[in-house]
Chains A and B, each alone.
Chain A
Amino acid sequence: GAGVSQSPSNKVTEKGKDVELRCDPISGHTALYWYRQSLGQGLEFLIYFQGNSAPDKSGLPSDRFSAERTGGSVSTLTIQRTQQEDSAVYLCVCGSLGQYFGPGTRLTVT
């Protein structure tokens, strides 16, 4: 595809349920970041993948959050036992300069 795609674009879930967010990056870019943006806030770093190196997970807020990147391409961010404070827009970014942003997944936990 021409750009970074994310799915779903919107997700409403009940507190306590698990959710899985997907990112399809631009082919060939080995760097991939996940961020979340809460209403009126900046971007909070979650995790960074670079090629086959071990990911930098230092931004994951709790052990309910995990992410993987299969084959150096598609990445999934999983949130288990969702809480209301998890509500945010989750952004996938790729490119060595962090220059390609996906449209985001808006997660609402009710």
Chain B
Amino acid sequence: GEDVEQSLFLSVREGDSSVINCTYTDSSSTYLYWYKQEPGAGLQLLTYIFSNMDMKQDQRLTVLLNKKDKHLSLRIADTQTGDSAIYFCAERGRDDKIIFGKGTRLHILP
């Protein structure tokens, strides 16, 4: 079945760029997503990319998609303490099922 993998932890110094990586298995994915879950809060959709795109930029966020390698990344420029959260990668297949990774906990070092 479909699977989404991401590393569980990432530590980054405040002001540096954070890069969170994700791999997925479904070659028929239509959308790839990044969600953010702040401590004690629910998930919120951060950004998404269509599978026929290879890059999407939105302010401090850059999403890169390598469809050949089934690799998705989220880059957060100038990481701030407010970026501390769990980031979930997700993919949506042709059956419209959205499969989530286990989440990457981003820790910001002062």
Give chain A's interface residues, CB within 8 Å of chain B.
31, 33, 35, 41-43, 45, 48, 50, 56, 58-59, 91, 93, 97-99, 101-104
Which chain B residue has the least Cβ–Cβ distance from A53?
B96
A35-B100, A98-B33, A104-B42 are known contacts. Are A43 and B95 too (CB-CB below 8 A)? no
Does the CB pair A45–B42 fall under 8 Å? no
| Main secondary structure on B side of the interface with A | strand
Which B positions have Cβ atoms within 8 angstroms of A? Answer: 31, 33, 42-45, 48, 88, 90, 92, 95-103
Contacts of B101 in A (CB 8 A): 42
Q: With the chains together, A21 CA to B99 CA distance in Å? A: 22
30 examples of A-B residue contacts, CB within 8 angstroms: A31-B96, A33-B98, A41-B102, A42-B88, A42-B101, A42-B102, A43-B88, A43-B100, A45-B97, A45-B98, A45-B100, A48-B97, A50-B96, A56-B95, A58-B97, A91-B42, A93-B98, A97-B33, A97-B45, A97-B48, A98-B33, A98-B45, A98-B92, A98-B98, A99-B45, A101-B42, A101-B44, A102-B42, A103-B42, A104-B42
- Which of A42, A50, A99, A104 is within 8 Å of B100, CB to CB? A42
**8 Å CB contact of B31 from A31, A42, A45, A97:** A97
Q: Does the CB pair A45–B45 fall under 8 Å?
A: no
Neighbouring B residues of A45 by C-beta, 8 Å: 97-100
User: Who on chain B is nearest to A41 by CB?
Assistant: B102
Contact for B96 among A43, A48, A99, A101, CB less than 8 A: A48
Q: Which residues of chain B are near A41, meaning CB under 8 Å?
A: 102
Q: Chain A contacts of B103 at CB under 8 A?
A: 42
- Of the listed residues B33, B43, B44, B95, the one surrounded by the most CB atoms of chain A closer than 10 A to its CB is B43
